[in-house]
Amino acid sequence: MAQWRPPPHDRSGSEAYAGKVARLAVDAKMPLDNGNAIGPLDIAYETWGTLNDQRSNAILICHALTGDQFCAGTHPVTNKPGWWPTMIGPGKPIDTTRYFVICSNVLGGCMGSTGPKSVDPGTGVPYGSHFPVITIADMVRAQKLLIHHLGIARLFAVVGGSMGGMNALQWAASYPDHVINAVIIASAARHTAQNIAFNEVGRQAILSDPGWANGEYLSRETMPRSGLAVARMAAHITYLSKAALQRKFGRNLQDRAAFTYGFEADFQVESYLRHQGNSFVERFDANSYLYITRAVDYFDLAADYDGNLGKAFPGTKVRFCIVAFSSDWLFPPEDSRDLVIALNSEGATVSFVEIETDKGHDAFLLDEPEFYRVVSGFLEGSAQQQGLFGPVVPQGKLNPIRPDLKLIADMIEPGTRVLDVGSGDGALLCHLTAERNVDGRGLELSREGVRLSVAKGLSVIHGDANRDLEFFGEGAFDYVVLSRTLQSVQKPRGVLEQLMRIGRRAIVSFDNFGFWRTRYKLMMTGRNPIYGENERWWHSDAIHPFTLNDFLDLAQSLDIRIEHCLTIDGAGKVSSETYPRPHANFMAREAVFLLSHPRG
């Protein structure tokens, strides 16, 4: 049988570069979700950095839909930088002087991994449309074979955006004992109907192109160039936001002063999309596009668990960092929030942040410093916890000007599960972890607070106590802490109800606006009293300046039992009482309450 050779116009694939290729599934074929098996198979990959002696510093990068293994360095086909130069390299968030970074072309791809354009050993010609339909789980099985081939038993992290995030999620679900951290960026646990619809438009553009030739175009030396270009154009629109398109192009004309009254690219945005389509054809295979988009459409981690996504991660020990972008309408933040809720239902360790940007879905590939800081902090925090680059350094110093924090810490039993609502920079959680061996989690509105917390190895979710306590299931924690925050929430009653739903006990501290000095200042100056660092009332977060007695009324209305009360007077003296005495409302500058339901 004569050896098949690619046609001269085909520049994509393993023939285009001299890279690393692993021959896998040689002795036994790799099973596929469709019931068939494949093997032997090739997985093309690239690496950066050095694997340490313990083989514990490996990070697997999973690429997006039309990406490949060249996430760093120079792409051999385009001669441009790899697709993630802002994230990967010396001194960057994924630091190649510290980590051994691996990125492979997915099964079904067209840059050296076995896919539709690969030669079918049974026929001697490319698989074409006879290639088996694959899934995200199949892609991850092949990646797992590659990692085993490289002699790595456990990955420090799997990191991916978009479809790569789906790969990372599948890793955490299928191989939780082989992954320490999973970083899920601009992704979801399943494709929506809208996303499937956009993919179908792209597929139909390819299938309708006469050059597709029923998928046998390589053997017939044709090419569905127009169809593949249109598919790329349609998909590329979903990667950007309305604001990004308007800012970049508006209604500006392309190299002309007036309309041509024809169907040339009058507008700059039209020219841009045509360029995207034409350049894409030079580096990607049309059949790979069909198979990979179908795999993404089939992805639904909850499908095997009666729609209960949390059950895909039973008792998982994987640490998750989930990042969403506010203007991403392909994978909107709501998708990430659903994932956070599902993971929390299983007690998983989850950090989540929503990055404010108008750049759309592709923001994770663009210049987003806040995104870099979050991912870098998460990896650094986990490395510190693991002692990956040196001995573990305990962190746990409390702010000396916050006496309530020490009182709160002393109320919490060792070895318990704790949620800190309004966790700030994570100081209290660090202290509880170091001194009381608690399993601590946080909810914090400030993105900077989240970043600082995850850099300490903490699990903190970016969210608002007014609406995001729904992230956590009923009775998920032994203690829920709300320190100096109840006055700043919109509806204190609703928030307190949520605290009691989530925790077996709640600890609440607040400034008492019934304190005698506060009353005196209001009487003598006629101005609102301010506590803390703020000097003017319009800087204050206190939208409900209630008193100790007001809080007692609220607790009574919710049938909440007061187990203990600590009050701090103007001189810093702490009084401990089972229930506050009547004069406490006058003498206490601050109060700390330990609360529970009468039934508990």
Dump pLDDT digits (tens) for 99-145: 999 999 999 999 999 999 999 988 899 999 999 999 999 999 999 99
pLDDT at 394: 61
Q: What's the pLDDT tens digit per position in 165-177? A: 999 999 999 999 9
pLDDT at residue 11 is higher than 70: no
pLDDT band at 6 (very low <50, low <70, confident <90, very high): low
Q: Which two tokens stand for residue 50?
A: 């050095």
Q: Where in the chain is the domain with CATH 3.40.50.150?
A: 403-596
pLDDT at 14: 40
Of the candidates 96, 112, 122, 110, the residue with the CA atom closest to the CA atom of residue 38: 122
pLDDT band at 598 (very low <50, low <70, confident <90, very high): confident
pLDDT band at 220 (very low <50, low <70, confident <90, very high): confident
pLDDT at 528: 75
β partners of residue 503: 477
Residue 350 CA from chain centroid, whole number: 9
Q: What is the mean pLDDT of the chain?
A: 92
Helices marked H in 437-571: 447-454, 492-502, 516-525, 548-557
How many CA atoms lie less than 13 Å away from 486 in the CB half-sphere?
A: 32
Residue 321 CA from chain centroid, whole number: 5
pLDDT at residue 7 is higher than 70: no
Q: What's the pLDDT tens digit per position in 486-513? A: 999 999 999 999 999 999 999 999 999 9
Those residues with Cβ within 8 angstroms of residue 35's Cβ, 6 or more apart along the chain or in another chain:
none
317-329: average pLDDT = 97
How many CA atoms lie less than 13 Å away from 587 in the CB half-sphere?
A: 14
pTM comes to: 0.91
Rg (CA), the chain: 28
424-453: average pLDDT = 93
Residues carrying an active site annotation: 162, 328, 361
pLDDT at residue 535 is higher than 70: no
222-237: average pLDDT = 95
> In terms of DSSP bridges, do strands 100-104 and 58-62 run parallel, antiparallel, or are they unpaired?
parallel
The fourth-level CATH superfamily of domain 14-198+295-386 is: Alpha/Beta hydrolase fold, catalytic domain (3.40.50.1820)
Q: What's the pLDDT tens digit per position in 342-391? A: 999 999 999 999 999 999 999 999 999 999 999 999 999 999 988 998 87
pLDDT at 536: 72
pLDDT at residue 92 is higher than 60: yes
Q: Locate tokens 């086909």: which residue?
A: 77
Those residues with Cβ within 8 angstroms of residue 252's Cβ, 6 or more apart along the chain or in another chain:
267, 268
38-64: average pLDDT = 97
CATH architecture of 403-596: 3-Layer(aba) Sandwich (3.40)
Q: Where in the chain is the domain with CATH 3.40.50.1820?
A: 14-198+295-386
pLDDT at residue 556 is higher than 50: yes
pLDDT at residue 261 is higher than 70: yes
